[in-house]
Structures are given as C-alpha cells and as structure tokens.
Amino acid sequence: MIARIAKMGCDPGATPPGLDSPADCSEPEISVISLDEEEIAKEIVLDFEDLVPSYDEYVWQISDTEVRKEAQKFGISNRGEDQVIRKILCGIVRAAATAPLGPIRSRKWSKYAMTGLASTLQVKGRSSMNSDQLRKALPKRVKEIESRVRALKL
C-alpha cells in the first residue's frame, strides 16, 4: 500500500482533504547528525565474545603478582605456577563467553553437562548443587565474569 502511494504523482496545486493549504511536494531535507569519534566509540558495545582475545592478551602481559590478584577476583585459589593460573583465567573467560545460557535455562542440559561447565567456570559449591540450583548459578557466574572483564576497559 505504501509503495503505491509513493509512486503516485503529486499535484502541487491540490489540497489534501481536510486541510486549507496545498500539498508540499518539495524534496524533504535530510539532516545529518555529526558525532565525534569519542561519542561513536561510547555507542559501540562489544559482545562479550569480542573481548576474549583482548583479555587473553591482558593476562599474558601483566605481572605475576597481578595474575594472582586477578585469580583471587575470579575465586581461583593459588594453584602453583603463574603460567598455569594464566591458562586457567583465559579458559574461564573463554568458557563464560561461549556458554549457551539459553539451552541451560530451558532445561535442555543434563546435570552432568551443567556440572562440567560449572567446574570450568569455577562455581563454588557445584558438587552439592542439584540441577535447578546449577541452572540458576551458571548464568549468575557468567554475568559475574563478564562484568569483571568489562570493568578492565579492554
């Protein structure tokens, strides 16, 4: 219907029904809004998956003491070598970014599968949780990890 109306010709002298003045058939002016590059950058919100490579780079560049502090923020106990901790941190963030939260919430995952993901994400108390508790804990943990990564402003 709209396409037909758009193709119709317009008679400048015609008066639209119910109006006292003739129709305006001139080309409309389109205003272009100019934004600074900083404003555009603020508007762009990266997906969590897009932050994973930046986080991996960050983890491998920071000092060993900073790695231990980062591990404490994620609830990882000191597991020995800093290289191992770096790999664990990268694995946790990667797993959180790719976690399929929709199928988990819709009961399509078994308890065994959810426990495996909970183990990767270092969910505390996962071994004593039932399926419903895991279904609630996993999305919370993913959001917690995502907020920690986004707080780094990578």
Residue type, 113: A
Residue 142 burial class via C-beta count within 10 angstroms: exposed 0-12, middle 13-18, buried 19 and up: buried
Closest-CA residue to 99 (of 74, 119, 76, 117): 117
- Spatial neighbors of 22 by CB under 8 A, at least 6 apart, are 12, 13, 14, 15
The whole-number pLDDT of residue 14 equals: 62
Residue 118: count of CB within 10 angstroms of its CB: 21
Q: What whole-number percentage of the chain has pLDDT above 90? A: 5
pTM greater than 0.85: no
Alpha-carbon distance 9 to 29, whole Å? 19
Alpha-carbon distance 60 to 35, whole Å? 35
Closest-CA residue to 95 (of 138, 135, 58, 153): 138
Statement: residue 61 has pLDDT above 70: yes
Rounded mean pLDDT, 142-146? 89
The whole-number pLDDT of residue 36 equals: 55
Alpha-carbon distance 147 to 47, whole Å? 12
Statement: residue 40 has pLDDT above 70: no
Statement: residue 99 has pLDDT above 80: yes
Q: What is the mean pLDDT of the chain?
A: 77
Q: Looking up tokens 């409309």, which residue turns up? A: 28
Residue type, 118: A
Q: Which two tokens stand for residue 119?
A: 């183990």
Residue type, 84: V
**Residue 94 and residue 102 in contact, taking contact as beta carbons nearer than 8 Å:** no
Alpha-carbon distance 71 to 2, whole Å? 59
